[in-house]
Amino acid sequence: MSESILSITLRSLYVSSTAALVAFTLAIALSAILARAPRKRAEMVLGVFEALVGVPTTVIGLFVYMLLYPHGPLGFMRLLYTPIAIVIGQFLVALPMAFTSMFRSFYELKEGVRELVLSLGCSEKHTTKVLLRELAPVLTSSYLLAFSRAIGELGVALIVGGGIEGYTSVLTTAIAVRTSIGDYELAIQIGLILLCITTSLALILKAFGERVLWR
Amino acid sequence: MEVKLVDVWHSYDGFTYALKGINLALEGPGVYVLTGPNGSGKTTLLKVVSLMIRPSRGEVVVDGVKFWGLDENERSSLRKSVVYVHDKPILVRGSARYNLELGLRLRGAKVSEDSIGHYIAKYGLKDLEDRPVSRLSAGQAKLISIVRGLLLRPRLLALDEPFTFLDGARASLLVEDLAEIARGGGTVVVATHYMHKGLRDCSKQVIELIDGEVAQREET
């Protein structure tokens, strides 16, 4: 294996954190828009996203592949087998997770916060500020979940990234490739790194959040 | 602050009415008490008076101006004079102190240590200042939300069941403060099941609501 584990790890972190960030931002925007909708409609949209959480990543990978295939609708962009293709695919994988983990809290807190702001004689424009502060723990968890889902998926990275060493190889594809050629020792090492990243990030953010963000 | 309700009706679902043709005038300073059984419309009336909900029908006239006919900026400006304290306290994450200061912070007003210190000492909240709200008892949470309202020194203060969970001593202190606000030219509206003796003594008018209608008004 010519590419170092560090290089693969950094690429994985870059690709998955970007995908999670885009998914997270869109989930906030969607939540803000849907929070104004009647409860029934909002619940319906939430139900759709909850169903999408369980879609296999290989199916999402296939969908993105069809989009980016040279003869596909976005083929002219020549993104297939690039890190950007993985970002697009992982964004689709992470979006339902980010949205479903934040929306219910968004919806339920919104009305209480609005009531509070008005009761203190303030205008509704202050609602967003208070709401975002109230939602900080939920938003942190939501980003973490999106990131974990993105960095831990294999289907998209393999189908639209191709696991090209030195270019699109990420932790999960590296594990798959190493296992397939019988290099179990390296596969286990990379697996442990993946495990460390997801658990340590969660622990750090939780500790930091409880002391600073969530107080 | 004068608030007049003219033929006010309100429904949350478009079918059943919580308020039915309320005509009521809170004329001048004083303590007004709203009583009535559960579901009689006290909270809804209090929220209409506090300019928090727009009634389905009728007019809310504040100092001679139809409130809901004003534009958003004018409404915001007038709303600054009114504070409503919920029956179930709504507190945000953080310490009790943070919650006490919340209204002032949102308004961009200076947090006066003297004023906060006065209420903290008066209501015995010193030990609670740094405590996260998740660890407050029901009575402590209630006190924090009431004091948060008092700190804003509104021209109209509306309190929904303020005596629930409060011990006798603190309930009496609260009545003293409400009477003080009224003496200072403020309007206080209290919705309650429990008619505290001191509250009756200092009230200007007791209004009884039954099934969304004013059943009785008693000048005291």
Q: Where are the domains of chain A?
A: 5-213
Quote the domain boundaries for residue B80.
27-54+72-219
Q: Which residues of chain A are within 8 Å of residue B79 when distances are taken between CB atoms?
A: 118, 121-123
Is the CB of B132 inside 8 Å of chain A's CB atoms? yes
Residue of chain B nearest A210, judged by CA positions: B94
Show the tokens assigned to A180.
């397939």
Residue percentage of chain A with pLDDT more than 90: 78
Q: Residues A161, A143: contact at Cβ < 8 Å?
A: no
Q: Report chain B residues whose CB lies below 8 A from the CB of A126.
A: 106
Q: A115 and B52: CB-CB below 8 Å?
A: yes
CB atoms within 10 A of CB A36: 9
Say how many C-beta atoms besides its own lie within 10 A of residue A35's C-beta. Answer: 17
Q: What per-residue confidence (pLDDT) applies to A214?
A: 56
Strands B30-35 and B19-26: unpaired
> Is A122's CB within 8 Å of B79's CB?
yes
Tell me, yes or no, if the pTM score tops 0.80.
yes
Whether residue A212 has pLDDT greater than 80: no
Q: B92 vs A126: CB contact, 8 Å cut-off? A: no
Q: How far apart are CA B148 and CA B150, in angstroms?
A: 6
Establish if B162 belongs to a structural domain.
yes
> What percent of chain B stands above pLDDT 70?
100
In a domain, B18, yes or no: no
Q: At what angle do helices A39-53 and A5-34 cross, to 10 degrees?
A: 160
Spell B164-184 as b/e; 16+ CB within 10 A means b. Answer: ebbeeebbbbbbebbbebbee
Which residues 6+ apart lie within 8 Å of A35 measured at CB?
A: A42, A103, A106, A107, A110
First CA to last CA distance, chain A: 46
Other CB atoms within 10 Å distance of the CB of residue B111: 12
Each residue's pLDDT tens digit, B192-219: 988 888 898 899 999 999 999 999 888 8
Burial zone of B212 (CB within 10 Å; 0-12 exposed, 13-18 middle, 19+ buried): buried
Q: What's the mean pLDDT in A30-53?
A: 92
Amino acid making up residue A167: Y
Residue B157 in contact with residue B1, Cβ under 8 Å? no
If you ran DSSP here, which 8-state letter would residue A126 be given?
A: G
The least confident of A84-88, A145-149, B107-111, B129-133 is: B107-111
Asked if the Cβ–Cβ distance from B152 to A116 is below 8 Å, we say: no
B113 touches chain A (CB under 8 A): no
d(CA B180, CA A207): 46
Which tens digits make up the pLDDT trace of B3-60?
999 999 999 999 999 999 999 999 989 999 999 999 999 999 999 999 999 999 999 9
Please report residues of B whose CB lies closer than 8 A to that of A134: 92-93
CATH of the domain at B101: 3.40.50.300
Contacts of A116 in chain B (CB under 8 A): 86, 90, 92
Chain B residues 72-91 with CB within 8 Å of chain A: 72, 75-76, 79-86, 90
Q: How far is it, in rounded angstroms, from Cα B67 to Cα B102?
A: 25
CB of A166 within 8 Å of any CB in chain B? no
A126/B106 CB distance under 8 A: yes
- Which of B92, B94, B152 lies at the smallest CB-CB distance from A121? B152
* Nearest residue, CB atoms, A123 vs list B76, B92, B132: B76
Q: Is residue B44 part of a domain?
A: yes
Confirm or reject contact between B111 and chain A (CB < 8 A).
Answer: no
| Span A60-108, pLDDT tens digits | 999 999 999 999 999 999 999 999 999 999 999 999 999 999 998 888 8
Count of the separate structural domains present in chain B? 1
Residue B167 lies in a domain: yes
pLDDT of residue B133 exceeding 80: yes
Complex ipTM, two decimals? 0.91
Residue of B nearest to A215 (CA): B94
Looking at domain A5-213, its CATH class is mainly alpha
- When pLDDT is cut at 50, 70 and 90, the band that residue A202 belongs to is confident
**pLDDT tier, A1 (very low <50, low <70, confident <90, very high otherwise):** low
Cβ-Cβ pairs closer than 8 A, A with B, add up to 65
Hey, are the CB atoms on B82 and A121 less than 8 Å from each other? Answer: yes
Residues of chain B contacting A215 with CB distance shorter than 8 Å:
93-95, 132
Closest residue, chain A, to B160 (C-alpha):
A119
Query: Is A102:A144 a contact under the CB 8 Å cutoff?
Result: no
Sort out which chain A residues have CB atoms less than 8 A from B94's CB and list them.
215
Q: Which of A115, A122, A134 sits opposite B93 (nearest CB)?
A: A134
